[in-house]
Amino acid sequence: MGRNNYLEKEPVGKLMRMYAVPCVISLLVAALYNIVDQIFIANATYLGSYGNAANTVVFPLTIVALAMAVMIGDGACAYVSILLGRRKEKDAAGTVGNAIVLSAVSGIVITILYLVFSDQILTMFGGTVNEETFLLAKEYFFWITAGIPFYMFGQAMNPVIRSDGSPKFAMMSTLAGAAFNIIFDPILIFGLKWGMMGAAVATIGGQIVTAVLAVWYLFHMKAVRLELRSLVLRGRLIRHFIPLGITSLLSQISLVAAMAAINNMLRKYGAMDAVFGQSQYAQIPMAVVGIVMKFFQIVISISVGMAAGCIPVAGYNIGAGRKDRAKELFCLLLKAEALLGAAALLIVEFFPHQLIGIFGAANESVWYTTFAVRSFRIYLCMMIFATINKGTFIYLQAIGKAFASTMISMIREVIFGVGFALLLPRFFGLNGVLYSMPVSDILTFLIAAVVIRNTMKELSVRSDAIAVF
């Protein structure tokens, strides 16, 4: 029997808490890297809303790197869990080794591409809203790019470490990096006045700490025994685990596509607005929506964390033929996602002034706060549907249903998310950008409800396992 056989025996509620809580904390901390930067930037009077807007421009570009990392890491985590459930330890070790190589190589490739095409990329994501914003974005982007290989490696290995039965270590490695960032952000931004470079350097330092801890763990794995030959790329393994991470890729990369569309719509229709068409206020819509998206990212990090924490448990039980336990776990997850969405909805509807106050509203004009309150209340009004949708996408990949997970995620994130962000502003101006999120979540939930019902029926039928697509 494998060392992880307790995943087939312990109560699923206990296992969900055991794995989901550290995973939620890990993803929250990862999300807080950029958010902490933005909070300190917003409260540095020499940066203000220009620095905020610059951070918003660069933010989706860090998500591209994160998307590649979680595709590799979550896919490997799901497949390793299934393999361990089937007692195939050698293939599990090969999957981990291939994930290590792919994350390292992709991190280097993305860094090179970013450095070569930096000006074009920043322009694509709305950096030319005004000259000051572009200069600050360029400075921040250069230094953030330097840390991408470390960032990607740490984020890819985090779910791999969870699949080996060590969710607490995965959490602590991320916390250690975040602590470094939080300590050095104020020192470099306020003490040394390094500005955007200081925020980026503090972030890179934290990412290096997390990556180093991940390397240490790989030499001390419990359920998987790595060997040198594990690092040899094998098409058979890659073809199995990469599709299982596609949903994680889409859930992140769609944010990039949506923010590219949103930033450009904000720039275009903001220029037509009586207030934001004035040069001194032109950066406000971009800065504000970036802040709203940061809060959304916090909530979604919890949502994804709960679902991703279920991956080792669900995958192992599917591999062991215990579909009844996979169904029970899915029911618990959906209830938890609905409660999370309801709590987030109450916060954005009743406390938007307090939320925007964290991001330097006291140093800005009244238009900054007014637009922020409207943005929070409209853009995030369907959070319950958003969290249920996200949890469904991730869980489907956890039980090996890569095709269904990918298709629904693509509809939500690409067709609806980007499509409505481009379409609705044509009819409703700046408000159209805000309407794009709730409309997308409502329509996606109608599709997800059908898939949830069918999946529950399938998990109720006795068989040895669910096919891995």
Model confidence pLDDT, tens digit, residues 75-115: 998 888 888 888 888 899 999 999 999 999 999 999 999 99
Mind listing the pLDDT tens digit for each residue in 404-430? Answer: 887 888 888 788 988 998 999 999 988
Mind listing the pLDDT tens digit for each residue in 240-259? Answer: 899 888 777 876 776 677 77
Instruction: Work out the pLDDT band at 315, boundaries 50, 70, 90.
Output: confident
Q: Are 52 and 41 in contact (CB under 8 A)?
A: yes
For residue 75, the number of C-alpha atoms closer than 13 Å in the C-beta half-sphere is 32
Amino acid 208: pLDDT: 96
d(CA 66, CA 155): 7
151: pLDDT strictly greater than 90: yes
- Token digits for 296? 């959304």
| Residue closest to 71 by CA, chosen among 98, 44, 41, 94 | 98
Amino acid 467: pLDDT: 46
For residue 320, the number of C-alpha atoms closer than 13 Å in the C-beta half-sphere is 22
351: pLDDT strictly greater than 50: yes
Amino acid 146: pLDDT: 94
User: Containing H/E element for 318?
Assistant: helix 311-319
Q: Are 9 and 320 in contact (CB under 8 A)?
A: no
Mean pLDDT of 158-174: 87
d(CA 247, CA 253): 10
**Own/partner pairs for 431-434, CB < 8 Å, 24+ apart?**
431/374, 431/378, 432/265, 432/269, 433/262, 433/265, 433/266, 433/269, 433/289, 434/374, 434/375, 434/378, 434/379
d(CA 251, CA 393): 9
44: pLDDT strictly greater than 60: yes
465: pLDDT strictly greater than 60: no
| Residue closest to 388 by CA, chosen among 446, 346, 325 | 446
Q: Are 82 and 313 in contact (CB under 8 A)?
A: no
d(CA 56, CA 50): 10
Amino acid 469: pLDDT: 39
d(CA 344, CA 402): 29
- Give the CA distances from residue 26 to residues 17, 109, 157, 174, in Å, rounded to whole numbers and listed in that order: 14, 25, 12, 6
- Token digits for 138? 């360029």
